[in-house]
Each structure stands twice: as structure tokens, then as C-alpha cells.
Amino acid sequence: MQQISDIAALRQQIKAWRQSHQTIAFVPTMGNLHQGHLSLIEQAAELADKVVVSIFVNPLQFNDKADLSAYPRTLDSDLAKLKASACDVVFTPTVAEMYPQGDMAQTIVSVPNMDNRLCGKDRPGHFDGVATVVNKLFNIVQADFAVFGEKDYQQVLVIKQMVADLSLNIKIVSAPIYREDSGLAMSSRNQYLTADERRKAAELYQALLAIKDKIQQGERDFASLEQHAFQHLQQQGFKPDYVAIEQYQGVSQLDLAEKTDLNQQIKLADPLILLVAAQLSKARLIDNIVCDLD
């Protein structure tokens, strides 16, 4: 495995692979890698001849500078994990390499209709930062495929829309959520939690399963289900941002626009996606599950 930190050198390697008619899959990360990331790399290796993984903590997607400063940076451990994986090149640029004019002077890619929904509503500017850095990385790596985890469901929708709108020549592949034995969705932010908090955090998944069970038993008052779960999480010590029941759009449908009457707009034959975001101690956690009504 090679470690490359500058864009020109990575482009030279990509050019050599292309001259040998090899295909490329790309997995962008912010480091602090866990088994969920490694499962994305495994999927990438099944799609292409070569796998590029990036590790870059992107300042543009943090609206809270304290959160940016505290974000775990574990490069030595990450490199050890990548060496044991199917990764061929790890791209580890500096902020200066990615934003030579400074991140405040960077051209911004903005995907419409995302800042007023779900995580976009609570993290203004976050998805602009995501779209900007991912677009830049796509242009640098020039991969055939990019693999993202569906835990960040809204992020996948943002990237799919960006790729479609800008006619980018890359296929976006989503991978299922990788969970701990407790059901807690794996996340780099889980590191912020104590052992007791980590056990409590699994309640997010259980709350979604409880909603799913009630819907599949015939409950159709979605607003009441959302409110009950929200209050339950508050009682458990969480500070929830939202509990939401949406019409599931996979990763090929792109509109998360505000619904005026969710109960009327969802067709009962359609699958739903149940989503939650909540703060627990120092960690902001997100999760989702699909609820099939067939």
C-alpha cells in the first residue's frame, strides 16, 4: 500500500493505472477508521482493480470549530488497518493541499433543498462542505466507483444529486450500516462515549425498531410515533435533534423536500425510512432503518 499526500503524485499513479486499463474504486473517509469503513473497502475491492482511500478531516463541513478541533485523528492506527485491507493507495492531503487559497476562499458546491431538512437543518452549511470536498476528491481520484455507507443516508442523497446535476462520470455505490453487537451503528464519534454511554447509545436503534414494529402492526399516526420516540429518547438522557419517518428513496431518488402532510403523501405500499439524530454526552449520533410495508 502506498501513502500519497499531494495531488500531483496521486494523479501520476492514477494515470499509470489507467494506462494499464485498470478500474478504480474510491472510499472517502475522515479517518479514525473502524470496521464499518473496512467493510466499504471490501466492497470497493469487489468493484474494481484498484482501491483508493482518502483520509481528510474536512474543515468546510464543520459549522462548530470546537467539533473540528476535537474530531479524532488517528493516522498511525488508520494506516495499520489499511495495510491489512484491500487498499492500494491512501491519500492523506493537508488542508493546504486541498484548499491552497484557504478554506474560506474555496469555491463552494451547494446542492439545493438539503439545508432545511433533517441533519441539514441542525448543521447549517454542513452539506455544502460535504458536496464541495467530495466533488474535489472525485476530480482528483477520477474513480469509476465511489462507496459510501448508508448510515449517512442524507449525505448519500446529496452526493447522488451532485453527481447527476454536474454530470460526473462516476457510479455511487451504497453499503449497509455496519453495527456493533448491541445494534449501535458504528461511527467514529462513538469514541467520544464512555462504556456506559456506549451501551445507552444502542437505544437509538431500539427506538427505531419500536417504531418499525408499530407501523408493521398497522399504526399510521406517524406524527404521534415520532413525538413518542422523541420524548422517550429525552427520558433516556439523549438530546434528540429529530425523529423522522420519511418515504424511503433508496439512493436513486433525490428529493428530501419538506412534506406538508406526510400521512397523506406516503403510499402504504411504499417502504419508509425511519431516521434519528441525537446528542449523547459529547457525541452527535445518527441512525436509520428501512421499514418495508409489503
Q: Which of 21, 34, 37, 126 is catalytic?
A: 37
Residue 137: which of 26, 21, 18 has the closest Cα? 26
Longest dimension (CA), the chain: 59
Known catalytic residue at 37: yes
- Residue 197 CB partners (closer than 8 Å, separation 6+): 280, 281, 283
Helix (H) or strand (E) holding 289: strand 283-291
Contact call for residues 177 and 252 (beta carbons, < 8 A): no
Q: Residue 279 forms beta bridges with which residues?
A: 239, 284
DSSP secondary structure, 40-102, as one string:
HHHHHHHH-SEEEEEE---GGG-S-HHHHHHS---HHHHHHHHHTTT-SEEE---HHHH-TT-
Contact call for residues 53 and 188 (beta carbons, < 8 A): no
Active site residues: 37
